[in-house]
């Protein structure tokens, strides 16, 4: 199934949640009685966010046996609509790049440049549910989910790592294609930051994504770490921000397939 979502950790989900957790602490006392489950998710999704973001990232892929491989990446984002990234290390992936552009209908156009082939190809809709560069994130995980695609239920008010959270279950509406049959989302009560998502395939817990190292940058609350665990394969991907800058005035024309062939 293909998901219609927004958030590379890379990744997507990585950058998408980085933008979605942008700051401004909001009073929450009594909101459980006054807000619906959908309104809580909407408040989380619609927080103030940087106009653009530039970052260097490290991605670690860790296998069941404990084997580990790392990659480094440069990523640029403008709002939720445009993202472009380049792998810079190790040598075998250097120059591989990706561009994601949201359309007005909520779907995304994705282009992938493979330097060994010297060719840019479009990632089809059906392929967007596949793994991105061997990580536990899919291409679809790099976008934001559309609120109207889901039904919402507040299933619990709980504690996660010492933080009070709302636990909200999201189920795709009939006719909506999704990578996941349901999503259980843990939203911090103090500021509407999403701390974790449990992602299901049927009745089976498939993946768990957690957000960590949340801190202030340029007046925004942004995560410095995302982890996606494939529970079925016992494999995980850890993405960290090594450097990050916001509101740098990145021009819209930068987000073009023509930009993919050279690392900035």
Binning pLDDT at 50, 70 and 90, where does residue 33 land? low
pLDDT band at 32 (very low <50, low <70, confident <90, very high): low
Q: How many CA atoms are closer than 13 Å to the CA of 1, on its beta-carbon side?
A: 17
The contacts of residue 237 (CB under 8 Å, 6+ apart) are: 9, 10, 59, 60, 61, 62, 135, 136, 137, 227, 228
The answer to whether 247 and 218 have CB atoms below 8 angstroms apart is yes
Note the pTM of the prediction, 2 decimals: 0.84
Distance (Å, rounded) from C-alpha 188 to C-alpha 190? 6
pLDDT range class, residue 221, cuts 50, 70, 90:
confident
Greater confidence (145 vs 227) lies with: 227
Model confidence at 10, pLDDT cuts 50, 70, 90, reads very low
Sorted by where each starts, the structural domains of the chain and their CATH numbers stand as 12-261 (2.50.20.10)
- pLDDT one-digit tens code per residue, 80-105: 889 999 999 999 999 999 999 988 77
Tell me how far apart the alpha carbons of residues 191 and 193 are, in angstroms, rounded to a whole number: 6
What confidence score (pLDDT) does residue 26 get?
A: 43
Q: Please compute the mean of the pLDDT values over residues 101-129 and round it to a whole number.
A: 88
Mean pLDDT, the chain, whole residue set: 87
Choose among 180, 152, 178: nearest CA to 43: 152
Q: In this prediction, what percent of the chain has a pLDDT beyond 70?
A: 88
């Amino acid at each position: 199934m293909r998901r219609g979502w927004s958030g590379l950790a890379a990744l997507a989900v990585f950058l998408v949640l980085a933008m979605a957790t942008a700051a401004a602490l909001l009073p929450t006392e009594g909101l459980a009685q006054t807000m619906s489950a959908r309104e809580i998710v909407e408040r989380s999704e619609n927080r103030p966010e940087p106009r653009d973001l530039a970052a260097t990232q490290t991605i670690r892929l860790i296998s069941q046996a404990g084997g580990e491989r790392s990659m480094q990446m440069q990523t640029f984002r403008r709002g939720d609509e445009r993202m472009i990234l380049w792998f810079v290390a190790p040598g075998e992936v250097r120059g591989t790049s990706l561009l994601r552009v949201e359309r007005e209908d909520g779907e995304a156009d994705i282009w992938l440049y493979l330097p060994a082939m010297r060719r840019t190809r479009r990632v089809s809709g059906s392929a967007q549910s596949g793994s991105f560069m061997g990580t536990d994130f899919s291409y679809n995980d790099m976008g934001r989910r559309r609120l109207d695609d889901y039904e919402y239920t507040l299933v619990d008010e709980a504690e996660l790592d010492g933080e009070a959270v709302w636990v909200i279950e999201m189920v795709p509406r009939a006719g909506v294609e999704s990578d996941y049959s349901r999503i259980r989302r843990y939203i911090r009560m103090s500021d509407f930051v999403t701390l974790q998502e449990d992602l299901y395939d049927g009745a089976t817990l498939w993946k768990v994504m957690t957000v960590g190292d949340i801190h202030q940058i340029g007046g925004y609350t942004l995560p410095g770490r995302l982890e996606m665990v494939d529970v079925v394969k016992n494999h995980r991907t850890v993405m960290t921000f090594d450097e990050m800058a916001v509101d740098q005035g990145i021009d819209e024309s930068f987000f073009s397939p023509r930009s993919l062939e050279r690392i900035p």
